[in-house]
Amino acid sequence: MSDPAPPAASWLGRRDDRARLVALVLLAFAVASLEHQPPVLAALGLGLALLVSLRLPRGRLWSRLAPLVALLVPLALLTPLWHPPGAEPLVAGWRWGPTDRGLALTGLILSRVLALALLAFGALEAAPFARSLAALQRLRLPQALTHTLLLSYRYLTLLREELGRTRHALRARAFRAGPNPRTLRVYAGVSGGLLLRGLARTERCEQAMTCRGYRGRLALGPAPAAGLADLALVLVALGAGAALVVWDRGGWVG
Partner 1 sequence: MSAPVLEARGLGFGYPGQPQRLALEGVDLRLEPGAHVGLVGPNGAGKSTLLRCLCGLEPLRAGGLWLAGQAVEGARLDQLHRQVGLVFQHADDMLFTPRVADDVAFGPRQLGLSPADVDARVQAALARVGAEALAERVPHQLSAGEKRRVALAAALALEPQVLLLDEPTSDLDPRGRRELRALLRELELTLLVASHDLEFVLALCDQVVVLDGGRVVRQGPAGEVLGDEPLMLAHGLERPHSLAPHAVHHRHDGELHGHGHEHTAGDL
Q: Compute the distance between CA of residue 17 and CA of residue 25 in angstroms, rounded to an integer.
A: 12
Q: Compute the distance between CA of residue 11 and CA of residue 121 in angstroms, rounded to an integer.
A: 15
User: CB-based contacts of 82: which residues, under 8 Å, 6+ apart?
Assistant: 99, 101, 102, 105
Query: What minimum distance in Å lies between the beta carbon of 211 and partner 1?
Result: 5
Candidate list 143, 180, 191, 210; residue touching partner 1; CB under 8 A: 210
DSSP-based three-state secondary structure for 130: helix
Q: Is 145 in the site for partner 1 (CB under 8 A)?
A: no
Minimal CA–CA distance to 205: which of 132, 164, 136, 147? 147
Stretch that binds partner 1, among 26-34, 66-74, 80-88, 197-205 (CB under 8 A): 197-205
Size of the site for partner 1 (CB under 8 A): 31
DSSP-based three-state secondary structure for 220: coil
User: Residue 125 or 248: which CB sits closer to partner 1?
Assistant: 125
Stretch that binds partner 1, among 52-60, 101-109, 110-118, 128-136 (CB under 8 A): 128-136
User: Residue 41 or 209: which CB sits closer to partner 1?
Assistant: 209
Q: Is 226 in the site for partner 1 (CB under 8 A)?
A: no
Q: How far is CA 170 from CA 31, 173, 212, in A?
A: 47, 5, 37
Stretch that binds partner 1, among 12-20, 55-63, 125-133, 173-181 (CB under 8 A): 125-133
User: Within positions 48 to 77, which residues make up the interface with partner 1, using CB under 8 A?
Assistant: none
Helix axes of 143-172 and 129-138: crossing angle, nearest 10 degrees: 150
User: Residue 2 or 53: which CB sits closer to partner 1?
Assistant: 2
Residue type at 138?
Answer: R
Which positions lie near partner 1, rule CB under 8 A?
Answer: 3-4, 6, 128-130, 150-151, 153-155, 157-158, 161, 201, 204-205, 207-215, 218-222
